[in-house]
Structure 1
Amino acid sequence: MSAAVGAVSATNDVTFNPHLEEELKNNEAHDTETETEAEEEDDSKLDPDRELDLGPQFSLKEQLEKDKDDESLRKWKEQLLGSVDFSAIGECKDPEVKIVSLTILCPGRPDLILPIPFTTSSKKCLFILKEGSKYRLKFTFSVSNNIVSGLKYTNIVWKTGLRVDNSKRMLGTFSPQQEPYTYVLEEETTPSGLFARGSYSATTKFVDDDGKCYLDVNYHFEIQKNWPAKH
C-alpha cells in the first residue's frame, strides 16, 4: 500500500484529489486491521498457556491391556511401540529415568566416570581437565514404567561468578527397557590460555517434555595447564 502512495506522489501531472486520498487512508486502515487479526489468530494457535485437553492418562500397561481383545489394534500398538521391553513396564503412569553414570571420554586417557550421586561438598573439585584437550560426554541411563518424551540435557558453567557456557542437548524419546541406554555427545575442546585456567562451577540437569527433572546436580571442576599427576 505504501508503494502505491509513493507512485501517486511522484507523478507531477496528477492533480490533488481529496476523495482519492481519503479512500487510500481507509484502505490502508482496513489492511492494517486485517493483518492484526491474522497475527492474533496465529498467536492464539501458538499460545502455550491455552488449555489443551489430552484426555485421561494411562500407564503403558493399561494402554496395552485396554484393547487386548482387539487383535488388529493390539498388533498395531505393539508395532507402534516398537522396541518396548514389556518386562520393564510398570503400573505407574509416569516414566522413571535413572541416570546411571556420566563419563568424560578423552583420547589417550582413562575414562573419567563421575560418581552419582555427586559429592555433597560444594567446594570440592570433582575432576580436572587439561586446557585445550579434546573430550566427549557419555550418558548412561535407564528408562522404566512408561515412555519418556523429549529427554533433554542442560549444563551451565560459571567462572568467577560469570556464566561462560550454557549447553542444551535434546537426547530424544525413549521407551522402557531393562538394558540401559548410552548416549555420546559430539567432541568438544576445553578452553586454553592463562585466563581459561582455574576453578569452575556447574549445574547439570536432565529434564523431559513434561518438566520432570531426573537429575539436578551442582559441582566444581578445574582446568589446568597439564593433566593431574597419577597417584
Structure 2
Amino acid sequence: MKRGKSTEAGPSSSEKQENMKMSENPEMLTPHDDDDDADDGITGFVPGPLVPLKEQIEKDKDDESLRRWKEKLLGCVEGDFSGQMEPEVKFHSISIISNDFGEIVTPLPVNENQNGKAMFTLREGSEYRLKLTFTVLHNIVSGLTYINTVWKGGLQVDQSKGMLGTFAPQKEPYIHTLEEETTPSGVLARGTYSAKLKFEDDDRRCHMELKYSFEIKRST
C-alpha cells in the first residue's frame, strides 16, 4: 500500500518576524469562531494572513537557504499562479481497506444513486482503514485535519480526529491513509451506521464534508 508524500511548509524569515510582532500585540490576533467541532485540540494557533503563492515564492530571494527550500517545496507548481489566495483541496476518492475484502474505492463526489446505500460492509471485530486521494490547488493548505463522527440509531457512538498535515499544491494527487480502526463486536454492535467525515484547515475552511453509511455484520 503506497502512501502519498506529505510535504510540510514552513514560514519564511519575514513571516517569522511578522508572527513575532503579532505575538507581542494580542489585539492583532483574531480567534476562530466556535462551532460544534471547535474544541478538538487539533488546532491551537491563529495563522497569519494568506499570501498568494507567487508572492511567497518571490519573497526573500536574497536568502539562499530559503530559496533552495522553496524550490524543493514549490518547484512543481510554476503553472499554478492564478492569483487565487485561498487553497483548495479537491478530493478524488475515498477507499475502505480491510482484510475482509481488500480495497473498495468510491469516487468523489458520491454518485446520487449511492445516497442511502451502505458504502461498505464489515464484520464485527475486524480492522479497517480509510484511504483518501486528493489534490491541493492554488496555495499551501496548512494543518489539514479530519473529524469522523459515527451514529447508530440516532445516537453518537464514536468520533475520531486526526491531523493529515500541511501540503503544497502539486499536479500529482496526494494519497493519505487514516489511522486503523476496529469495528465493535456483539449483538448490539451489528446493524447499519451513519457517519460524517469532515476536513478543515487551520483557517477552519471546510474542504469536504462527506456523509455516508456502512453496515457491521456477524462474524462467521
TM-score (ref. length: structure 1): 0.67
Of 69, 83, 98, 1:79 maps to: 69
Residue pair 2:134, 2:175 contacting (<8 A) in 1 also: yes
Structure 1's unaligned 5+ residue stretches are 1-43
Mapped partners of 2:57, 2:205: distance in 1: 24
The equivalent residue for 2:31 is 48
Percentage identity across paired residues of the two chains: 46
Q: Report the Cα distance in structure 1 between the residues aligned to 2:188 and 2:52, rounded to whole angstroms.
A: 52
Q: Which residue number in structure 1 is paired with residue 135 of structure 2?
A: 142
Match status 1:210 vs 2:206:
no
Q: TM-score, normalised by structure 2?
A: 0.70
Paired residue type of 1:48: P
More helix by share: 1
Give the secondary-structure state (helix, strand or coil) at the position aligned to 1:86: coil
Return the letter of the residue paired with 2:135: S
Instruction: Check 1:97–1:154 CA distance in 2 against 1; reply closer, same or farther (3 A cut).
Output: same
1:1-231 to 2 correspondence within 5 Å?
48=31, 54=48, 57-65=50-58, 70=61, 72-73=62-63, 76-80=66-70, 82-84=72-74, 85-87=76-78, 89-90=80-81, 91-107=83-99, 109-120=101-112, 122-226=115-219
Tell me how far apart the structure 2 counterparts of residues 74 and 92 of structure 1 sit (CA, whole Å). Answer: 27
Cα RMSD after superposing both structures: 2.9
Amino acid at match of 2:72: G
Counterparts of 1:92 and 1:206 in 2: how far apart (Å)? 20
Greater relative contact order (CA < 8 Å, ≥ 6 in sequence): 2
Given that residues 104 and 111 in structure 1 are in contact (C-alpha distance below 8 angstroms), is that contact kept between their aligned partners in structure 2?
Answer: yes
Q: Is the 8 A contact 1:102 1:113 kept in 2?
A: yes
- Residues 88 and 153 (structure 1), Cα distance of their counterparts in 2 relative to 1, 3 Å cut: farther
Q: Please tell me whether the aligned partners of residues 88 and 178 of structure 1 are also in contact (alpha carbons under 8 angstroms).
A: no
Distance in 1 (CA, whole Å) between partners of 2:47 and 2:135 is 30
